[in-house]
Amino acid sequence: DAKTTQPPSMDCAEGRAANLPCNHSTISGNEYVYWYRQIHSQGPQYIIHGLKNNETNEMASLIITEDRKSSTLILPHATLRDTAVYYCIVRVYSRDNYGQNFVFGPGTRLSVLP
Amino acid sequence: DSGVTQTPKHLITATGQRVTLRCSPRSGDLSVYWYQQSLDQGLQFLIQYYNGEERAKGNILERFSAQQFPDLHSELNLSSLELGDSALYFCASSSRPQHTDTQYFGPGTRLTVL
């Protein structure tokens, strides 16, 4: 089962910031938070990941609370092409068992409105 | 474009038949993962290979099998197909992990069993 909970759907106005929340209250110290999105039926697209520090890349920012029990993905200027299902996943990194699979929940369906 | 390729894009077949789905990982990636996405189950991990060896198994049926070849491409074989096997099948790849192990997904194969 997925270790995260996300709202099933959200709307965002085009050009505005989209803030997608994720709760992961049982996260362990060695678990990373990953975000992927899936546009229509395309393959999931990697967005960003982090452990405990806030992260930013060309696509988005990831804000992780100090207790690490929740995080927020921020798309700073949402466009219509950002309409997708966004998945928040927690995943252990282990040197002895690297390459573990991702457990996807139902995600948040983000609709960017014109 | 993630760099992961999958063929064919679409496959239509009949119940009881056998099909093979093919995946070529990103250049340099040693790990290949297979996922199934059906309407009622979401994205489900099936199996993982690393450098030719099976590393992890998820909810993969006994009728399904996979392998990874010396050139690192992978094939997923589905036999005795049933109507419920109709789904999107995604392949993902990742490099040998250093700090983290991000998976990059291919565009998928849509299987329709009639």
Is there a contact between B102 and A34 if contact means CB atoms under 8 Å apart?
yes
Is there a contact between B101 and A93 if contact means CB atoms under 8 Å apart?
yes
Is there a contact between B56 and A100 if contact means CB atoms under 8 Å apart?
yes
Q: What is the pLDDT of residues B44-80, one digit of tens each?
A: 989 989 889 988 888 899 999 999 999 999 999 999 9
Residue B100: pLDDT band (50, 70, 90) is low
Closest C-alpha among A58, A80, A62 to residue A22: A62
**Which among B45, B50, B105 is the top mutation candidate for probing chain A, defined by the most A β-carbons within 10 Å of its own β-carbon?**
B105
Q: Rounded to an integer, what distance in angstroms lies between the CA atom of residue B55 and that of residue A92?
A: 15
Q: Rounded to an integer, what distance in angstroms lies between the CA atom of residue B110 and that of residue B9?
A: 6
Going by the DSSP 8-state scheme, the letter that residue A75 receives in this structure is E
Burial class (CB in 10 A: 0-12, 13-18, 19+), A27: buried
Q: What is the pLDDT of residues B70-88, one digit of tens each?
A: 999 999 999 999 999 999 9
| Residue B41: closest C-alpha in chain A | A106
Please list the ranges in chain A whose pLDDT falls under 70. 1-2, 92-101
Residue B99: pLDDT band (50, 70, 90) is very low
The reported pLDDT for the residue numbered A14 is 97
